[in-house]
Structure 1
Amino acid sequence: MIERLLQDPSIVVSGHRGYKSAYPENTLLAFEKALELGVHMLEFDLRLSQDKVLMIIHDETVDRTTDGSGPVSSFTSEELRGLDAGSWFGGEFAGLRIPEFSELCELIAPWPELLLNVEIKPAPDAEAAADAAVAMLKNYGYLDRCVFTSFDANIIAHLHDQYGVKTQGFPGEAMFNFVPGEHGTYSKMWAAGISMKQLTPSLADELRHLGLLAWCYCPDDDRQVYYALSCGVTMMTCNHPVPALEIGRLLDSRLQLSGLGRTGGTE
């Protein structure tokens, strides 16, 4: 199913850690609100707890996004779920929890067309996290919806070589353990994510000439969305998905009038 992005002429909008600009990131509420907006993809971050349960959290430590302190890997899944993952963002979100990956898999069951951007965070146990994620996604029947992302080129290579899944890496200078050359990291990537600070037409073209899809993150206002489009980039991972969604709907209506249109989505 993820292969449809090769032909889709429309803007494809991914909710970055859910609806990150308005709700506490990587919580079930943030994902629910992104789905309500009509995003076509969800992006989220996976790490293993001390007892090897896949948890959805971005940082190496719990300090920034919870009321706890210390490395994620030093907590059991039960301990992680006991932390408050909402109050840091606003008092009205007190009591939100760090979700287990299985909870998100259950949440998205009613959205059969939803795509998933599964980011494996760099860590000593990142390969084990990648293996566990593939196994769970296979069990739920979601694997063909997924692109797997990592800033660690070793994880990109592992996912590509071991499972043959679609992967998103980044321009080489943004990655750990990047291997240059014909059979290096780029050869194991399907797409490359470009930050808005780096995005230029020439960089997008360079990556496309390498056979990669050129994607971007995070265009969060109209100006940035139109700039990404001017670079030929239509796959956008957004903290604030509304501008990209609204512009996408406008362009979709024009595409439909010309006989083209979206091939799938959650709307």
Structure 2
Amino acid sequence: MDIFAFPPLAALLDAAYGALAGLSSLLEPLAGASAAALAVILVTLLVRALLVPVGVSQARAEQTRARLAPKLREIQRRHKKNPERLQKEMLELYRRENTSPFAGMLPVLAQAPIVGLLYTLFLRPEIAGHPNDLLTHDLFGAPLGTSFVSAVFGGTASPATLLVFGALAVIMLVVADISRRVFRPAPVPEGAEDSPLSSPAMLRVAGALHYLTVVFAAFVPLAAALYLTVTVVWTLVQRMLLRRRYPLPEVTPAKTLAKTPARTEPLRRGGRG
């Protein structure tokens, strides 16, 4: 079923097409055939700028979750055999702190419709009954309406298409690797080693999620992949700046805590003598 066959969504798609096509026309003297690609970049930057306040709330939520982590682990330890009591105590803690376990997810949810619109705009040969002129645009010779997977398996992959998709993939892989290293999970404190969320398998899954955007970008039209590339770069820079503004509490690993008394005890005894 085509959801854009419904009149309200069809009107929304046509309005998005008109806005992007109009912006592309304004940029055409500057960018030529890549005007639509430049328009996608500018739209991405505008969307991310509008979402800066949401990014700030996301950083605050991340800081709050890190601060509440010891309390949550204690609740899980006390009520791990009583799921209903566990759920009630966790919700009560979130209520007292005026937060939610889902706080900070709005940036991802807010961008999903935009990616969906770009995907549709550069996939359809016709929009609201008229030809889709956006499909005539490219980025350095790579058509904006072509996806990497369809180009490779359809036998239409030109050197320009492979080069452009390869460059975007490299950028996203570098950003994903930096994000994985900079925003790795905090050390697990004593008493939390048996938590399923801190198991080696879950940590590997969390690390792999950073690279999921690269896989997704291979299946969408180049215009949507370009949006995703600009988004991940913006997100990395924004998160690094906000992490300085809203630092996470330091967590001392259990092994370090266990060794500290052994080193200080002789000094105490010497002081008594």
TM-score by length of 2: 0.24
- Kindly indicate which of the two structures has a greater share of residues assigned to helix: 2
Select the structure of larger CA radius of gyration. Answer: 2
- Kindly indicate which of the two structures has a greater share of residues assigned to strand: 1
